[in-house]
Amino acid sequence: MKRAKRRKNLKEHGSKPVQQNHSTLHIHPTLENNINEIKQSIGNSMDIIVREFLIQEKLNGAIIYTKGLTDLQMVQELLESLMLQINGDKWIQYEDIKKSILTVSQIEEHKEMGQLLTGLLSGDSILFLEGYETALLINTRQWKGRDVSEPITQPVVRGPQEAFTETLITNTALIRRKIRDENLWIENRQIGTRTKTDVAIAYINGVADDAIVEEVRSRLDKIKIDGILEGGYIEEYIQDSTYSPFPTVYNTERPDTVAANLLEGRIAIIVDGTPFVLIVPALFVQFFQASEDYYLRSDFGVIRILRLFTFFISLLAPSLYIAITTFHQEMLQTSLLISLAAQLEGIPFPAFVEASLMALTFEILREAGIRMPKVIGSAISIVGAIVLGEAAYTAGLVSPAMVIVVSITAIASFVTPAFTMSISIRILRFVLMIFAATFGLYGILIALFGLTLHLCSLRSFGVPYLSPIGPFNMNDQKDVLFRFPWPAMHNRPSFLQQQDQQRQSTERKEPKR
């Protein structure tokens, strides 16, 4: 009988309570009804505080706030300004409270519960008054956040030593500090039906291409998901090629890098809760540029050439070793060939298996060093690499030449400034090793040819991924492989199709002698 009755109740009322849509629910003139509606909407959560009070012993009111997200000192000042209000026999009106009593800098008036609940869960306070069908949403947000610290993933020797934090307002302030221009526009929107994460779009009006800005807005507005917890969620939704190993959205934790890209005409996407800012459009050469390239006077891009060289080393070194030792021994000098043959005499595995085991072991050590606590993480990665390499050589499982090749490859992979590009290199390295073990140097050429075609087909918000190399633009080569001195770079890169191409005046004053 009990089971049948339970089934009947489930059939009539459903297995779960029906969720109310508060976005269009209007505020009731009765104070008690509004308070009950707020409590029921949030499930009588213990961190939602309701403080009822009287104004001049005539008007009932209530302030509702979220403990831990709200500045309690500001709430105390609000209560004092309302409860200690004395105005003779004059009846205090709603407009008086809004215009002359509350001294808070930001107040919004709303008539629907949905907007109030979103603000309440963001740290704002709600002010209800008896007899009124509107409520005030008061900005009292304050929560503990991490202070501005040094960059962790993108350090520099010379340059600003500050990085973004997890707070959106702090990050926008760091950008405003770099670009004090009224044309720096920052648009805000909320993404995520449940998290309602604040996402900001920053660009310089009059410099950035309006078509790209509109495309960014369109792609963000199309995101329909219950929650956004990090900028990586946004990146996967707005990128042009979902299954490409190469990133088409750039991310950085440095405010000076964001400011430099905004000045070139790019758009920054700032997500609340993450210290990394997304930048679009993103190009292939951009992932090998560091902010330090523009601060060192004597560099002019020489280190950038070194980064590109190490990119090819980390991508091709193991596959070239496999191809030459397996298929093309005639390419080696006789003395070197004899030395390698002596080393490989007692090795039980072919070159491909040998390289795969060593590369996979190093990837495991690198991942373990990242996941372990900082105190012992670096020790495990360094000691583990030395001990395992020496033990593998002593046991006769790998040759000394293979240890050298894998070590150089691993060191070269750390030179790439952008971590997302280094991940792509690590994945493609194994693909090239398979082609090398199957077809030798011909397989490597086939893989590189297909890789080049893939890079040529990629776009980032309509901009070719290999710009300005492919398609080639002579005028934009001043900041690609080499960096020309600042006085020589008069215009911004034209492939971004900015509205304002000129970066600086062409007139240069000669120094007085």
Reduce the secondary structure of 74-114 to three states and give it as a string.
HHHHHHHHHHCCCCCCCCCCHHHHHHHHCCCCCEEEECEHH
Residue of 100, 87, 48 whose CA lies nearest to 70: 48
Alpha carbon distance 233, 208 (integer Å): 24
Of 3-12, 70-79, 332-341, least confident by mean pLDDT is 3-12
* 1 confidence band (pLDDT: 50, 70, 90): very low
Contact 55, 83 (CB under 8 A): yes
Q: Which pLDDT does position 487 carry in this prediction?
A: 82
Q: Which pLDDT does position 127 carry in this prediction?
A: 93
Q: Which pLDDT does position 227 carry in this prediction?
A: 92
In this prediction the pTM is 0.86
Residue type, 385: A
pLDDT in tens, 261-298: 999 999 999 999 999 999 999 999 999 998 888 888 77
Residue type, 486: W
Q: Which pLDDT does position 23 carry in this prediction?
A: 58
pLDDT in tens, 36-74: 999 998 888 999 999 998 887 778 899 999 998 898 999
Higher pLDDT: 357 or 91? It is: 357
Higher pLDDT: 254 or 89? It is: 254
Q: Which pLDDT does position 442 carry in this prediction?
A: 94
Q: Which pLDDT does position 17 carry in this prediction?
A: 46
Residue type, 137: L
- Please give the C-alpha separations between residue 423 and each of 170, 354, 480, in angstroms, as whole numbers: 29, 22, 22
Higher pLDDT: 50 or 365? It is: 50
Give the mean pLDDT of the chain.
Answer: 85
Q: Which pLDDT does position 377 carry in this prediction?
A: 60
Contact 136, 98 (CB under 8 A): yes
Contact 179, 207 (CB under 8 A): no
177 pLDDT higher than 70 = yes
Query: What would you report as the CA-atom Rg of the chain, rounded to the nearest whole angstrom?
Result: 31
Percent of the chain with pLDDT over 70: 90
**SS3 annotation, 362-393:** HHHHHHHHHHCCHHHHHHHHHHHHHHHHHHHH
Q: Which pLDDT does position 15 carry in this prediction?
A: 43
* 13 confidence band (pLDDT: 50, 70, 90): very low
277 φ/ψ angles, rounded to the nearest 5 degrees: -105, 135
Q: Which two three-digit tokens encode residue 66?
A: 């979220």
Alpha helices in 222-270 (DSSP H): 231-238, 255-264
* 362 confidence band (pLDDT: 50, 70, 90): confident
Q: Which pLDDT does position 459 carry in this prediction?
A: 94
pLDDT in tens, 299-335: 777 888 889 999 999 999 999 999 998 898 888 888 8
Q: Which pLDDT does position 512 carry in this prediction?
A: 56
Q: Which pLDDT does position 36 carry in this prediction?
A: 92
Across the range 186-196, mean pLDDT stands at: 93
10 pLDDT higher than 60 = no
Higher pLDDT: 216 or 416? It is: 216
Residue type, 132: Y
Q: Which pLDDT does position 201 carry in this prediction?
A: 96
CB atoms within 10 A of CB 33: 12
Burial 140-178 (b: 16+ CB within 10 A, else e): bbeeeeeebeebeebebeebbebbbbebbeebbebbeeb
Q: Which pLDDT does position 513 carry in this prediction?
A: 54
Alpha carbon distance 513, 185 (integer Å): 43
Contact 49, 78 (CB under 8 A): no
135 φ/ψ angles, rounded to the nearest 5 degrees: -135, 160
* 447 confidence band (pLDDT: 50, 70, 90): very high
Q: To which residue do tokens 């893939």 refer?
A: 454
